[in-house]
């Protein structure tokens, strides 16, 4: 019997949870991502001394089924509850007392978590998809990959819209979705608060998270949306110098703060997602998932992929009856 086939655009958490669920049910699944690896906003940077993240620092679960997925990751030793101190304003409070409780940090590279979710799905990195057509993916080099039983797109809405000229019903559903940007930086400094997380009460900086790998004193620093919008077209040097000087002022640090990397996430967080878990064009066998549909955060994105895969599997079972 020939296997059913799915083609998925995007190997972030939404695409991976969908791909892994279909692959586990016996589908032949090909996932295409323009990046060099899986992860999307859960991707990592590698250094000689280890790895660090400029994307999502925390994972949290409000409800099942993600809560049990998270418990499973804890059992596997892939994530652990954040137990350090959070420094907020002038006081150091224990994490359990802070508003950020129920937060977990990956203990393995976040991108590896996503990689594991893919299961037996085939990942094609460095493959940018240019357009979607009924049952078909068109790659940037013009190659058309067709005859899929289902084509699924899991990229942020502003990146999906230009791919959807041949599928106007889906394109219209995304028209109102807006994202806000986040500049993030890897910085290294000595001293400062004896904390693992710093929550700033500031209009320029939002959060700093100590990195478990990558050597001593390495932190991921996240700017606010306001900062990120102001510096949207700035160079990396200009944005990171501004962030470093804000940081030193807030923490009273002397020079030098070393800036090791920076990244602008233009599509960091959707403001007005479509709602539900997925939207589909049943006739053309194309569906959209991800946080632009289901709402911001790892939990919602993961669940959107899972729910679509479950709906596809169920509809195929019904057809078979
Ligand atoms: C700085 C930052 C901090 C965050 N903090 C948190 C947090 O603490 N907790 C939390 O729950 N959430 C957080 N989020 C949000 C969370 O990361 C996202 O909601 C979630 O990861 C979205 O997953 P996704 O699979 O929908 O999209 P993505 O992870 O963006 O995956 C989309 C994938 O599609 C690929 N792609 C795009 N275009 C193409 C193309 N044309 N062809 C092929 N591939 C393509 C991309 O390379 C990417 O891998 C944060 C996000 C950012 C940016």
Listed by start position, the domains of the chain span: 5-38+118-176+273-320, 68-109+179-270
Ligand 1 atom with least separation from CA of 32: 43
- Residue whose CA is at the smallest distance from ligand 1 atom 11: 297
Ligand 1 atom with least separation from CA of 130: 41
> Thinking of the domain 5-38+118-176+273-320, which architecture would CATH place it in?
3-Layer(bba) Sandwich (3.50)
- Residue whose CA is at the smallest distance from ligand 1 atom 19: 297
**CB 113 within 8 Å of CB 53:** no
Q: Flag whether pLDDT at 99 surpasses 60.
A: no
Task: Tell me how far the alpha carbon of residue 101 lies from the centroid of ligand 1, in angstroms.
Answer: 22
Q: Tell me which H or E stretch contains 248.
A: helix 236-251
Written as one string, the DSSP assignment of 270-316 is ESS---SS-EEETTTTEEE-SHHHH-SSHHHHHHHHHHHHHHHHHHH
- Residue whose CA is at the smallest distance from ligand 1 atom 10: 297
Task: Tell me how far the alpha carbon of residue 159 lies from the centroid of ligand 1, in angstroms.
Answer: 12
Ligand 1 atom with least separation from CA of 159: 38
Torsion of CA 310, 315, 319, 321, to 10 degrees: 60
Task: Tell me how far the alpha carbon of residue 203 lies from the centroid of ligand 1, in angstroms.
Answer: 24
- pLDDT at residue number 94: 61
Q: Flag whether pLDDT at 300 surpasses 70.
A: yes
- pLDDT at residue number 95: 56
pLDDT of 41-76, one tens digit each?
Answer: 999 888 878 899 999 999 999 999 999 999 999 999
Task: Tell me how far the alpha carbon of residue 208 lies from the centroid of ligand 1, in angstroms.
Answer: 19
Task: Tell me how far the alpha carbon of residue 2 lies from the centroid of ligand 1, in angstroms.
Answer: 33
Ligand 1 binding residues, C-beta < 6 A:
9-15, 32-35, 40-42, 55-58, 128-129, 154-156, 159, 182, 184, 222, 265, 268-269, 290-291, 296-298, 301
* CATH node for 68-109+179-270: 3.90.660.10
DSSP 162: G
| CA end-to-end span of the chain | 16
**CB 240 within 8 Å of CB 222:** no
Write down the mean pLDDT value for the chain.
92
Task: Tell me how far the alpha carbon of residue 42 lies from the centroid of ligand 1, in angstroms.
Answer: 6
Axis-axis angle for helices 13-24, 298-320 (nearest 10): 30
- Residue whose CA is at the smallest distance from ligand 1 atom 3: 56
Same fold, 5-38+118-176+273-320 and 68-109+179-270: no
Of 55-69, 172-186, 305-319, the one with minimum mean pLDDT is 305-319
Q: Give pTM, 2 decimals.
A: 0.95
- pLDDT at residue number 93: 66
Q: Flag whether pLDDT at 98 surpasses 70.
A: no
Cα three-residue angle 50-53-55, rounded to 5 degrees: 165
Q: Flag whether pLDDT at 163 surpasses 90.
A: yes
DSSP 59: B
Task: Tell me how far the alpha carbon of residue 40 lies from the centroid of ligand 1, in angstroms.
Answer: 5
**Which of 9, 20, 37, 56 best tests ligand 1's pocket when mutated (most atoms within 8 Å of CB)?**
56
Task: Tell me how far the alpha carbon of residue 46 lies from the centroid of ligand 1, in angstroms.
Answer: 18
Of 79-83, 95-99, 140-144, 196-200, the one with minimum mean pLDDT is 95-99
Could you give the percent of the chain with pLDDT greater than 90?
A: 79
Ligand 1 atom with least separation from CA of 54: 1
- pLDDT at residue number 150: 97
Place of tokens 């699924």: 152
């Amino acid at each position: 019997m020939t296997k059913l086939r799915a083609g998925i655009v995007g190997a972030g958490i939404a695409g991976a949870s969908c791909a892994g669920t279909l692959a586990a049910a016996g589908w032949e699944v090909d996932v295409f991502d323009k990046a060099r690896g899986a992860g999307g906003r859960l991707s990592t940077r590698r250094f000689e001394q280890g790895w660090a993240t400029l994307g999502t620092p925390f994972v949290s679960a409000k409800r099942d089924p993600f809560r049990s997925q998270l418990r499973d990751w804890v059992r596997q030793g892939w994530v652990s509850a954040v137990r350090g101190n959070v420094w907020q304003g002038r006081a150091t409070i224990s994490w359990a007392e802070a508003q950020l409780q129920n937060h977990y940090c990956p203990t393995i590279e976040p991108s590896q978590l996503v990689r594991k979710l893919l299961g037996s799905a085939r990942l094609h990195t460095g493959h940018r998809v240019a357009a979607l057509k009924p049952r078909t993916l068109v790659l940037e080099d013009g190659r058309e990959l067709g005859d899929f039983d289902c084509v699924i797109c899991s990229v942020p809405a502003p990146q999906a819209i230009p791919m959807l000229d041949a599928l106007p019903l889906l394109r219209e559903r995304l028209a109102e979705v807006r994202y806000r940007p986040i500049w993030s930086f890897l910085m290294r400094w000595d001293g400062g608060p004896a904390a693992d997380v710093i929550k700033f009460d500031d209009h320029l900086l939002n959060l700093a998270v100590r990195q478990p790998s990558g050597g001593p004193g390495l932190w991921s620093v996240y700017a606010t949306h306001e900062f990120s919008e102001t510096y949207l077209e700035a160079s990396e040097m200009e944005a990171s110098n501004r962030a470093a000087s804000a940081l030193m002022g807030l923490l009273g640090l002397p020079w030098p703060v070393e800036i090791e990397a920076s990244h602008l996430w233009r599509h960091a967080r959707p403001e007005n997602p479509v709602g539900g878990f997925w939207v589909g064009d049943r006739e053309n066998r194309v569906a959209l998932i991800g946080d632009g549909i289901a709402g911001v955060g790892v939990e919602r994105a993961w669940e959107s992929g899972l729910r679509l895969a479950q709906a596809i599997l169920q509809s195929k079972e019904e057809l078979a009856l």
